[in-house]
Each structure stands twice: as structure tokens, then as C-alpha cells.
């Protein structure tokens, strides 16, 4: 889902309800936002470290967007995968790369009730993001929302609890397949 859609909140609710779900901690070159903890929300690394990891084929997928690099360190993801379901909070380019390498993946797109609602949420987030960054994220969100057709499921985040439950239901249905 696009930046500002509330993925973090929805994922937080889901993980509380199902403690066996493991979160894949991405590496990023962007600066931490207020409240973000290194090693928990992201591994905050330098561009140099990121490029070294690309060279070492240490990413399951990676992409450059929002003027920063983002990637899923393969080792931590595969270790978590051995223990159960792993949740990756990644952009469409990354998700399609993952689908190539791990065809058993389920791709779920979280969408806002409307584009206008997303704009309102992104502007209201109040985490000190500059106007030009907000505009960049909104442009990107339009493109991401177009990609949702290629996902296995599209879930509307009209209410965080309901949205989290819908995703948990998708996961348990998959387990009973």
C-alpha cells in the first residue's frame, strides 16, 4: 500500500493478534522518523552499506523510491520464514521481485477509501515531512494504486481494525487451503 495508507497501524494490530507472524525488517537509507527504532522498524544504513549489500546479493528484493533505497535483507527473512509466516511491508516493485523468487507468496494491497482520503492522511501525519516530499509520495501513490490490479488481494483501509481482520482472515484461509 501507498505511503500514508496506514499500513504500519494495520500491521501493528495484526501482529498483536497473531504473535506468530514475523515482521521482515527492511534496510533503508532514509532518515528515521520520530519514534522509529533502528533494528525494529528498519535497519537504518548508509547508501554505501546498501550498495555493498546489493553487490553481495544480500537482498531478497530492493528498490529505490522516495529518493532512498529500500531492501529486504534475505538472511533475516529466510530465517523467519523457517519459523512461520513473514510479513513484508514493501512497495510494488519489490513485491513483484519477491513473487518471482518466492512464488508461494501472497500479495495483499492495502488501499485508502479514496485518493483524496490518502492525501488528507499523508498531510495530517505531522511527522515533519516537507511539502515537496508529500507531493512526491502522492505521485507515487497514484502509480502504486494502479499496480494493485496485479495483487492477489486488495483490502480497503476504511477502518484499521476491520482492515487488519480482513487480512488475518486471508492468512487463515490460506493456511486451510
85/125 with CB nearer ligand 5GP: 125
Q: How far is the CB of 107 from ligand 5GP (least distance, A)?
A: 12
Q: How far is the CB of 176 from ligand 5GP (least distance, A)?
A: 28
Q: How far is the CB of 177 from ligand 5GP (least distance, A)?
A: 26
Q: How far is the CB of 95 from ligand 5GP (least distance, A)?
A: 7
Contact 26, 43 (CB under 8 A): yes
**Residue 20 and residue 94: Cα distance in Å, rounded?**
24
32/84 with CB nearer ligand 5GP: 32
List all residues 6 or more positions away from 131 whose beta carbon is below 8 Å from its beta carbon. none
154/175 with CB nearer ligand 5GP: 154
Contact 4, 124 (CB under 8 A): no
31/104 with CB nearer ligand 5GP: 31
Q: How far is the CB of 72 from ligand 5GP (least distance, A)?
A: 4
Binding site for ligand 5GP (CB under 6 A): 3, 26, 30, 61-63, 66, 70-72, 89-91, 93-94
9/93 with CB nearer ligand 5GP: 93
Strands 68-73, 59-65: parallel, antiparallel or unpaired by DSSP? Answer: antiparallel
- Treating both helix axes as pointing N-terminal to C-terminal, what angle do 115-124 and 131-147 enclose, rounded to 10 degrees? 150
Q: Nearest to residue 94, comparing CAs of 116, 66, 127, 125?
A: 66
Contact 31, 164 (CB under 8 A): no
Q: What is the number of the residue whose Cβ is closest to ligand 5GP?
A: 94
Amino acid at each position: 500500500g501507498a505511503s500514508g495508507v496506514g499500513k504500519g497501524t494495520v500491521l501493528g494490530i495484526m501482529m498483536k493478534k497473531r504473535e506468530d507472524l514475523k515482521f521482515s525488517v527492511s534496510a533503508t537509507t532514509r532518515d528515521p522518523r520520530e519514534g522509529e527504532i533502528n533494528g525494529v522498524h528498519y535497519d537504518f544504513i548508509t547508501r554505501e552499506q546498501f550498495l555493498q549489500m546489493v553487490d553481495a546479493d544480500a537482498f531478497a528484493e530492493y528498490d529505490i523510491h522516495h529518493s532512498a533505497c529500500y531492501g529486504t535483507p534475505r538472511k533475516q527473512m529466510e530465517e523467519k520464514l523457517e519459523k512461520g509466516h513473514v510479513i513484508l511491508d514493501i512497495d510494488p516493485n519489490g513485491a513483484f521481485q519477491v513473487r518471482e523468487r518466492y512464488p508461494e507468496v501472497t500479495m495483499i494491497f492495502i488501499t485508502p477509501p479514496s485518493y483524496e482520503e490518502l492525501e488528507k492522511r499523508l498531510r495530517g501525519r505531522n511527522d515533519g515531512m516537507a511539502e515537496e516530499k508529500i507531493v512526491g509520495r502522492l505521485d507515487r501513490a497514484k502509480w502504486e494504486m494502479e499496480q494493485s490490479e496485479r495483487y492477489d488481494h486488495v483490502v480497503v483501509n476504511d477502518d484499521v481494525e476491520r482492515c487488519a481482520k480482513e487480512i488475518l482472515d486471508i492468512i487463515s484461509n490460506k493456511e486451510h487451503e
